[in-house]
Amino acid sequence: MANFLVTGGSRGIGAAICRLAAEKGHDVVVNYASGREAADGVTSDIIAAGRQACAVQADMSVEADVIRLYQEAIGFLGHIDVVVNNAGIIGRTPILEMDIAAARSMLEVNLLAIMSSCREAARHMAKSRGGKGGVIVNVSSSAARTGGFPQHSAYAASKGGVDSLSLALAQELGPEGVRVVPVRPGISKTDMLAASFGFDQAMTNARSTIPLGRAADPSEIAAVIVWLAGPEASFMTGLPIDVSGGK
């Protein structure tokens, strides 16, 4: 049994990770930004599965919120074994009209928030500070490698940053007993697609460009992430794992 903290656990891939972690016997703190009702739905499912769960609101792009989230999560769980930095946003940022403020917001949620979260996780887990070690899974995207949907360069760049950050932290935190693994999902059936490329367009794109001919169900991404967080993956750190149907 491990104790999980999942950021952006109220919907999509994050909710699937929370539910699967509970199914596998783990307790979970479910972070969300504003979707209180959805987060409560996830915690109810976890409790119904016989595990402990609580939902904690925190905007991961606000450093003080991240610090409070860790305090509340450690207060609830006792200690954290696994952090999944999953919260993320997407949006079009065509370079000819790029709104730098919008691009900055995306980098704050998708990259700087992960830095804050990794710092708090490292302070809690590092063996040199009396911690027990642990695992950090950072949710990147195949966009880091492919450039992503057209006119989504800020998103692709934020995810490239997640991969580089994870590799560097894996080196820094390996001796502290902490694995840091970036995971790159491909197109997955969640609300996020509606906010960017459009859900139907993304499904058409998936059928024609992904070797498996379809988008992922969030449960297929969650399965890999929960496995990576466990002891079977004890020699895996730093290098990105693609879960993208072969694209």
- Cα dihedral sign for 204, 240, 3, 109? negative
155 catalytic per annotation: yes
For residues 180 and 139, give the distance between their C-alpha atoms in angstroms, rounded to a whole number: 11
Mask 159-188, x = binds ligand NAP (CB under 6 A)?
--------------------------x-xx
For residues 53 and 30, give the distance between their C-alpha atoms in angstroms, rounded to a whole number: 7
Q: Which of 4, 8, 80, 165 binds ligand NAP (CB under 6 A)?
A: 8
Amino acid identity, residue 214? R
Q: Does 35 sit near ligand NAP (CB under 6 A)?
A: yes
Q: Does 17 sit near ligand NAP (CB under 6 A)?
A: no
SS3 111: helix
Q: Does 118 sit near ligand NAP (CB under 6 A)?
A: no
Q: Which of 86, 93, 166, 205 binds ligand NAP (CB under 6 A)?
A: 86
Which among 70, 149, 155, 197 is annotated as catalytic? Answer: 155
- The structure tokens 């006792």 sit at 78
Q: Which is nearer to ligand NAP, 33 or 126 (CB)?
A: 33
Residue range at the interface with ligand NAP (CB under 6 A); choices 8-16, 70-78, 122-130, 172-180: 8-16
Q: Which of 17, 21, 87, 126 binds ligand NAP (CB under 6 A)?
A: 87
Mask 184-223, x = binds ligand NAP (CB under 6 A)?
-x-xx-xxxx------------------------------
**In whole angstroms, how far apart are CA 209 and each of 109, 149, 197?**
28, 12, 15
Q: Which of 18, 22, 28, 38 binds ligand NAP (CB under 6 A)?
A: 38
Sheet holding 27-32, edge to edge: 53-57, 27-32, 3-6, 82-85, 134-139, 178-185, 241-243
Which residues, other chains included, contact 81 with Cβ-Cβ below 8 Å and sequence gap of 6+?
A: 2, 3, 4, 132, 134, 135
Where do contacts with ligand NAP occur on this chain (CB under 6 A)?
7-8, 10-14, 31-35, 38, 59-61, 86-89, 109, 139, 141, 185, 187-188, 190-193
Residues serving a catalytic function are: 155
